[in-house]
């Protein structure tokens, strides 16, 4: 598949300003988005579902990409040209790849109807793209497209690494777990037990197992994986342009730029400011160093 420019609309786009500037708005089901990583446009998607740190998407292609059934063709798009959407090739991607919202393409209810029809082998409420003229050539392009989107699916930030669980204060309270019980169970001081109950320190693997056995409940019902507030916030595409600019200024890849921000955020003096305000200050410092 052809890589996409972030600063220049592809030939034939009749609304190039949408491509270059985007449309404001939070990521929502039915939106058409431009993806990027390391300052390079990867492709277009329509969001089909939003989850905590990733989105489910239907890949989308432009007329120049020779779309064909089972893609469905949406004649009216924010770009001013038809867009072929591939519901049967739904792909989960990291929110870190969301670069620019190009506008709303499909109503969520219509997307549900399209998915149901294709699952049941029926005609969807939106017409299929024209059938491929060159069957063998299209088969080769199809295999390349599937491989390409599998590669995109594997781009992950933050990196998927084993995490150490911490007790969830809410879940511990629901289980009626008390500091005195924890102190007795682990043979630790009361202050240490309180820190564990509050989720301020990690559970060792042995402690997690002992708690699960003591209450005869799975660890997942008592503990959660800690999340870095800066890393979580940076998954919001509102920060994408800042990250791209920082990566260019530091001459590093995007993952390194994101990690720089997270590290600087952790080292910065604590304040009562919101995470977003502190992130703005972090970007300003890193850009001026």
Q: What is the pLDDT along the chain (289 residues), one digit of tens a residue?
A: 667 999 999 998 999 999 999 987 888 999 999 999 999 999 999 999 998 778 999 999 998 888 888 999 999 999 999 999 999 999 999 999 999 999 999 999 999 999 999 999 999 999 999 887 788 888 888 999 999 999 999 999 987 655 677 787 877 787 788 889 889 888 999 888 898 888 878 888 888 888 888 777 777 666 766 678 899 899 999 999 999 999 999 999 999 999 999 999 988 766 657 888 999 999 999 999 8
What is the pTM assigned to this prediction? 0.79
Shared-domain flag, residues 216 and 248? no
Please give the C-alpha separations between residue 28 and each of 24, 56, 74, 106, 162, in angstroms, as whole numbers. Answer: 12, 11, 18, 11, 30
Closest CA to 228 of 266, 276, 267: 266
Strands (E), 105-204: 166-167
SS3 of residue 5 by DSSP = coil
Shared-domain flag, residues 73 and 202? no
Is 161 inside a domain boundary? Answer: no
pLDDT at res. 162: 53
Q: Whole domain around residue 243: which residue ranges?
A: 229-288
Shared-domain flag, residues 142 and 176? no
Is 54 inside a domain boundary? Answer: yes
pLDDT at res. 161: 55
CA gap 19, 79 in Å, rounded: 7
- Max Cα–Cα distance, the chain, nearest Å: 74
SS3 of residue 37 by DSSP = strand
Shared-domain flag, residues 212 and 141? no
The number of residues in the chain equals 289
Bond before 70 cis per omega within 30 degrees: yes
Shared-domain flag, residues 149 and 239? no
pLDDT at res. 38: 96
Helices (H), 14-98: 16-21
pLDDT at res. 163: 60
Q: Measured on CA atoms in the order 148, 117, 62, 79, is the torsion positive or negative?
A: negative
Strands (E), the chain: 31-37, 40-50, 54-61, 72-74, 83-85, 91-94, 98-104, 166-167, 223-224
pLDDT at res. 226: 63
- The last residue of a domain, from among 206, 224, 242: 224
Is 178 inside a domain boundary? Answer: yes
Give the count of beta carbons closer than 10 Å to the beta carbon of residue 271: 9
pLDDT at res. 272: 59
Shared-domain flag, residues 67 and 176? no
Is 43 inside a domain boundary? Answer: yes
| Pairing assessment for the beta strands 223-224 and 54-61 based on DSSP bridges | unpaired
Shared-domain flag, residues 100 and 126? yes
């Amino acid at each position: 598949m052809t890589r996409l420019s972030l600063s220049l609309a592809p030939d034939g786009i009749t609304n190039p300003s949408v491509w270059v500037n985007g449309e404001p708005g939070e990521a929502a089901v039915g939106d058409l988005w431009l993806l990027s990583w390391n300052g390079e446009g990867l492709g277009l998607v329509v969001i089909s579902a939003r989850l905590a740190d990733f989105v489910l998407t239907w890949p989308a292609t432009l007329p120049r990409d020779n779309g064909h059934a089972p893609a469905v063709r949406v004649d009216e798009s924010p770009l001013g040209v038809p867009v072929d959407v591939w519901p049967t090739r739904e792909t989960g991607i990291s929110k870190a790849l969301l670069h620019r919202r190009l506008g709303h393409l499909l109503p969520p209810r219509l997307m549900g109807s399209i998915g149901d029809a294709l699952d049941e082998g029926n005609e969807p409420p939106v017409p299929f793209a024209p059938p491929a003229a060159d069957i063998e050539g299209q088969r080769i392009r199809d295999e390349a497209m599937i491989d390409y989107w599998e590669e995109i699916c594997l781009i992950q930030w933050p990196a998927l690494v084993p995490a150490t669980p911490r007790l969830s204060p809410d879940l511990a309270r629901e289980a009626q777990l008390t500091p005195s019980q924890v102190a007795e169970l682990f043979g630790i001081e009361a202050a240490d037990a309180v820190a564990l109950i509050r989720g301020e320190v990690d559970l060792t693997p042995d402690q997690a197992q002992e708690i699960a056995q003591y209450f005869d409940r799975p660890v997942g019902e008592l503990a959660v994986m800690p999340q870095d507030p800066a890393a979580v916030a940076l998954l919001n595409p509102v920060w994408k342009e800042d990250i791209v600019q920082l990566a260019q200024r530091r001459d590093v890849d995007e993952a390194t730029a994101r990690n720089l921000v997270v590290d600087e955020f952790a080292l910065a003096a604590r304040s009562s400011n919101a995470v977003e305000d502190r992130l703005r200050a972090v970007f300003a410092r890193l850009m001026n160093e």
